[in-house]
Structure 1
Amino acid sequence: MVSLLALASSVVWGTSDFFAGLASRRHPAVVVVGWTQGLALVVVSTIVAVRWEHLTLETWPLWSVAAGLSGMVGLIAFYSALSRGTMGVVAPIAALGVVVPVVLGVATGEEPSPWAWVGMVIAIVGVTLASGPELSGEVGARPVVLASVAAVAFGLALFCLDRGARESALLTLWGMRMTSVTILVTAAIVLRTVGEVTAREVPALLAIGCGDLGANFLFGLASSQGQVSVASVLGSLYPVMTVVLARVVIGERLRPVQQAGVLLAIGGACVIAL
């Protein structure tokens, strides 16, 4: 069940990120993040209000604030990279942030099985190979730097989300969105703009926000029921979905090394799941 939940989060994340990347080509990344996070906050706040009497208040706020800050930085950097670089290249680099929760998980006492280590290594190598074109220098440096920042930020966000979800996945998600949206709304007030988003675009931005919210929730459930190191690797296979959609929907071409990387990533996930 843990493996299925983590893999489901990667599918939802990959789909959400693909459409967020398209939206970021029409609006600045910070605008896309602000709107998607804000709309998602409305949704999760409604759910929290309905289930409030069943929720507990402990130490999750600290983890949710940390996850919200790092997640917001990661999304802005990631969407900016997606808008400037090849999706099939940027997404795999950002996914390398999985190394962060794996290291932190092991450092805090987790002991993955030998086969889990084999699967994680295969999956991480696969994701690395999927970014092969970057090694050729044919893609600009800016998307690479932004994707690298996103990788570290996402890794920290996953670890903090896991720690908060061990107490309450729902409240941790709510705290994350409250943190990021408060900062982004403050920025919008100072700049006196909401990014020129039209009413026609709101449903799509809502879907992206709910997708990211749902993926975070699925990951929180998976990691809190198992090891964050293993769940993080499976959850970070989302570039596979982004790459496939980029190929099918907008016709991005993948080099043989990228195709091999995708297959290795999937193979690694199968080893971990089994």
Structure 2
Amino acid sequence: MLSLLALASSAAWGTSDFFAGLFSRRRPAVAVVGWTQALAFLALSVVVLTQLGEVTGSGWPLWSIGAGLSGLTGLLCFYTALSTGTMGVVAPIAALGVAVPVLLGVATGDQPPALTWVGMGVAVLGATLASGPELSGDVSTRPVVLAGIAAVGFGLALFCLDRGARSSTLMTLWGMRATSVVVFCVVALVTRSLGGVVAREVPPLFLIGCGDLTANGLFAIASSRGEVSVASVLGSLFPVVTIVWARLVLKERLRPVQQAGALLALAGAAIIAV
């Protein structure tokens, strides 16, 4: 059951990321992230108010702030990369953030088996192959670099989200979104801009935000009640969903080396779970 929840989180992440990437082609990535986070925060706040009397645990605040800041960095870099690079290349690289919770687990006492290290090696090789055309000069290297930064941000966010959810899943999600909203409110005040978003764009941005929020919630439940390494890997399979959407909607085709690299990156992530 927990594995299904983690897989469902990858489906929600992959779908919301694809449509957020499309939005980022006509609006600044910072505006897309800010609006989706703020709208999801409003929806979540309503849920928190109805459940406030049942909230327990006090270890979530710092973890939620860490998840919010690292997740925010990851989303900004990821959406920018999706808007300027090939989705089928950017998404698998970002998924390599799965290695971060594993490494942090080792630093805090976990002992991954040898097969886990093999999986990380395969995943890194896959990312290199998938990035090959980007690094060859055919396309700018910027999307690849941004995707790499996004991977680290996502990995740290997953680790913090798991730790905070052990105290309170609902409040960790709320604190994570509250942190993001505060940052974007400051940015909006300084720039005196809301990113040019118009009224008709609010509903789809709301759906994208709720999709990302749902994914975070499913992952938090799966990881805090099971093993964070397994949940992280299953949740990191979102590029498969993003690539499918890109193929169906954008008719995007990958070169053979990119296809092999994307498959290796996902295979490496799957090996880590074993």
TM-score, normalised on structure 2? 0.90
CA contact (8 A) 1:105 1:227 kept: no
Shift of 1:133: 3.0
Instruction: Write the distance in 2 (CA, Å) between the matches of 1:65 and 1:106.
Output: 22
Instruction: Write the distance in 1 (CA, Å) between the matches of 2:119 and 2:140.
Output: 31
1:222-261 aligned at under 5 Å gives the runs 222-261=222-261
Shift of 1:126: 5.0
Instruction: Write the distance in 2 (CA, Å) between the matches of 1:98 and 1:215.
Output: 15
Instruction: Write the distance in 2 (CA, Å) between the matches of 1:53 and 1:42.
Output: 19
Shift of 1:106: 2.5
- Provide the residue aligned with 2:198 in structure 1: 198
Q: Residue type matched to 1:86 in 2?
A: T
Instruction: Write the distance in 1 (CA, Å) between the matches of 2:84 and 2:263.
Output: 26
Shift of 1:125: 5.3
CA contact (8 A) 1:89 1:132 kept: no
CA contact (8 A) 2:93 2:151 kept: yes
Moved more, 124-133 or 198-207: 124-133
Instruction: Write the distance in 1 (CA, Å) between the matches of 2:173 and 2:205.
Output: 18
CA contact (8 A) 1:77 1:150 kept: yes
Shift of 1:129: 4.4
Instruction: Write the distance in 2 (CA, Å) between the matches of 1:42 and 1:80.
Output: 24
Instruction: Write the distance in 2 (CA, Å) between the matches of 1:84 and 1:42.
Output: 30
SS of match in other structure, 2:211: helix
- Provide the residue aligned with 2:56 in structure 1: 56
Instruction: Write the distance in 2 (CA, Å) between the matches of 1:3 and 1:125.
Output: 26
Shift of 1:261: 4.2
CA contact (8 A) 1:14 1:239 kept: yes
- Provide the residue aligned with 1:15 in structure 2: 15
The change in CA–CA distance for 1:8 and 1:269 in structure 2 (over 3 A counts) is: farther
CA contact (8 A) 2:234 2:270 kept: no
1:1-274 aligned at under 5 Å gives the runs 1-112=1-112, 126=126, 129-264=129-264
Paired residues in the alignment total 274
Moved more, 250-259 or 32-41: 250-259
CA contact (8 A) 1:68 1:180 kept: yes
Instruction: Write the distance in 2 (CA, Å) between the matches of 1:273 and 1:72.
Output: 26
Instruction: Write the distance in 2 (CA, Å) between the matches of 1:39 and 1:101.
Output: 28
Q: Residue type matched to 1:253 in 2?
A: R
Instruction: Write the distance in 1 (CA, Å) between the matches of 2:76 and 2:250.
Output: 22
CA contact (8 A) 1:95 1:236 kept: yes
Q: Residue type matched to 2:87 in 1?
A: M
The change in CA–CA distance for 1:84 and 1:43 in structure 2 (over 3 A counts) is: same
Deviation digits for residues 33-82 of structure 1, max 9, x if unmatched? 01000000011111111111111141100000011011111111111111
The change in CA–CA distance for 1:53 and 1:107 in structure 2 (over 3 A counts) is: same
Q: Which runs of 5+ in 2 are unaligned?
A: none
CA contact (8 A) 2:5 2:219 kept: yes
Shift of 1:150: 1.1
Instruction: Write the distance in 1 (CA, Å) between the matches of 2:208 and 2:258.
Output: 26
Instruction: Write the distance in 2 (CA, Å) between the matches of 1:152 and 1:61.
Output: 21
Shift of 1:130: 4.1
